[in-house]
Structure 1
């Protein structure tokens, strides 16, 4: 499902994450902090919450796909997961190549903790299979953890739907198998909210992020069906999010609001307005490419700025802007020739 409205939301979230990484990794933000401390603090602390938007949208799009009646009677589970892997891994490997080249270049210009050492074969193989965080290897670029988690979430959801369809008696209706699937997805969402999402030791596994991803999944099933069972399960999960007071987490509130927005926008006239056909929507459409290329770009720009403007705050503010613009520009050919091929 391609939606100009969703692309606008993703465009806003993408820009927030782009500036979050610029603020988080430095070194330009360390110097710029002298003149724009409030902006740096916002991008450092709050802009990262945009990840919850991407997770909720990702769950929603996965839910729309997997909630088609008897989906795996028409598709092979291996092919579905393999297609997802290829769609993620080809641009992902391109970004790793850029990151290695950028780290090598930046290491000649500055010393900084964000520069990765040249990887060895095991580290590269761990990245190839999205296992670098689980196996304890240093990530070669910022944000690659998200790609690994996105693949884990999709693969687990696809396997669960497949197993429910495969193991259910032939006499069961689609409505019955869907109800079983929803019970499982609701249970995973609730388990993530009340336990796994509260402990950072699980943040390299899909279950940590099912709190936000699951909201998108349940929302997709809700808009696909008028079933009272679907409504009850979805409302129950959403109520837990809104009433869970032991450990207030802003990212869950963001995901909850995003779920309501997704529900309200699905097949609505206002979400199809020509208003959403704008440059922000194009940024959202290219958000994966932007997400992948912006860190290598920022490394090289940071290295140049350290050499040229090591202590000029306003020039480092300008350098952050240059890095953002160059990331957007590089993402255009990256999206066209690598992600879309």
Structure 2
């Protein structure tokens, strides 16, 4: 299910993440803090939690794809992973080039920790294979780590389900094989929920983020069962117990998103015309916005440092300018790079 409703969720989340980065990285937000401290603090603390929504949606769409009957009979697991890689890598490489150019331009006008140095060959190669976080290399742009994580989560899930499909007896029914696959995904999700997501030392690995991605996968599978409400209630109990032991806002948002996606599956209201709005268009371009907004914001920040280094309200204007310009640049990026 790829619907305007999902695009609305992605549109809202994309805007929140963009505003989080504007609040987090500065330097405009450092100056604007003098006049809108509450707004900047809000996006600084809560904006990044919208990443959980993207992870759940990614898992939800992956669950629909990988739990199709005989999915590995139509395409090998390596074809599925390669197709995922191709969909991600071209706009990703274009974003890396844009990030390098914008970082160089920004470095001519300001000195700031958010500006990346010119990459070494090993760093570029690690980005090419979506492994920079695992190999300990600095990400060349704020949004690139998420793309790498999305690819790793998909690849690990696809390989796990393929191995299950391969090693189980061939005379087993599709339903029985699928049940084993769901159990494996559930175990990995629970391990992430109760162990890995509690330890920030794992936040460079897929194990830390699998709780949100796995919730999306399970929501997709639960949505197609006759016992949807019971299974959703059971999954919610595990989630609430984990939050009782150690409350995490990002996990709560992931759980709510998974429940909403599960309940929206084939529901009448999800096809309402109300979802056909500008947010849906932003949602469809969310990948492009995610990739271009940080490099564009860097250049705007470097200009504002030169022109308005101490004026708080003009730096608020600068932050708005950076956000709007990022959206404008994302339009041709989406049309001529991502869609192609």
Same fold (TM over 0.5): yes
Note the 1:1-341 alignment, pairs <5 A. Answer: 1-226=1-226, 235-244=233-242, 245-341=244-340
8 Å CA contact 2:12–2:279 kept in 1: the answer is yes
8 Å CA contact 2:289–2:327 kept in 1: the answer is yes
Deviation at 1:201, TM superposition (A): 1.2
Aligned equivalents of 2:251, 2:332: Cα separation in 1: 35
Aligned equivalents of 2:60, 2:161: Cα separation in 1: 15
Aligned equivalents of 1:239, 1:193: Cα separation in 2: 13
Deviation at 1:238, TM superposition (A): 2.7
Deviation at 1:73, TM superposition (A): 1.1
8 Å CA contact 1:215–1:238 kept in 2: the answer is no
8 Å CA contact 1:81–1:158 kept in 2: the answer is yes
8 Å CA contact 2:99–2:295 kept in 1: the answer is yes
Deviation at 1:224, TM superposition (A): 2.1
Deviation at 1:235, TM superposition (A): 4.2
8 Å CA contact 1:196–1:207 kept in 2: the answer is yes
Aligned equivalents of 1:222, 1:334: Cα separation in 2: 36
Deviation at 1:217, TM superposition (A): 0.6
8 Å CA contact 1:218–1:234 kept in 2: the answer is no
Closer, same or farther in 2 for the Cα pair 1:234/1:184, shift >3 Å? farther
1:20-48 deviations in Å (ceiling 9; x for gaps) = 00000000000000000000000100111
Deviation at 1:2, TM superposition (A): 2.1
Aligned equivalents of 2:235, 2:192: Cα separation in 1: 11
Deviation at 1:177, TM superposition (A): 0.4
Deviation at 1:203, TM superposition (A): 1.1
Deviation at 1:134, TM superposition (A): 1.3
8 Å CA contact 2:300–2:322 kept in 1: the answer is yes
Q: CA RMSD in A?
A: 1.2
Aligned equivalents of 2:209, 2:229: Cα separation in 1: 22
Secondary structure of 1:211's aligned partner: helix
Given the two structures, how large is their TM-score scaled by the length of structure 2?
0.97
Aligned equivalents of 1:92, 1:239: Cα separation in 2: 38
Aligned equivalents of 1:243, 1:93: Cα separation in 2: 41
Secondary structure of 1:112's aligned partner: coil
Given the two structures, how large is their TM-score scaled by the length of structure 1?
0.97
Aligned equivalents of 2:252, 2:6: Cα separation in 1: 18
Secondary structure of 2:7's aligned partner: helix
Aligned equivalents of 2:191, 2:19: Cα separation in 1: 32
Deviation at 1:310, TM superposition (A): 0.3
8 Å CA contact 1:186–1:237 kept in 2: the answer is no
Aligned equivalents of 2:235, 2:189: Cα separation in 1: 7
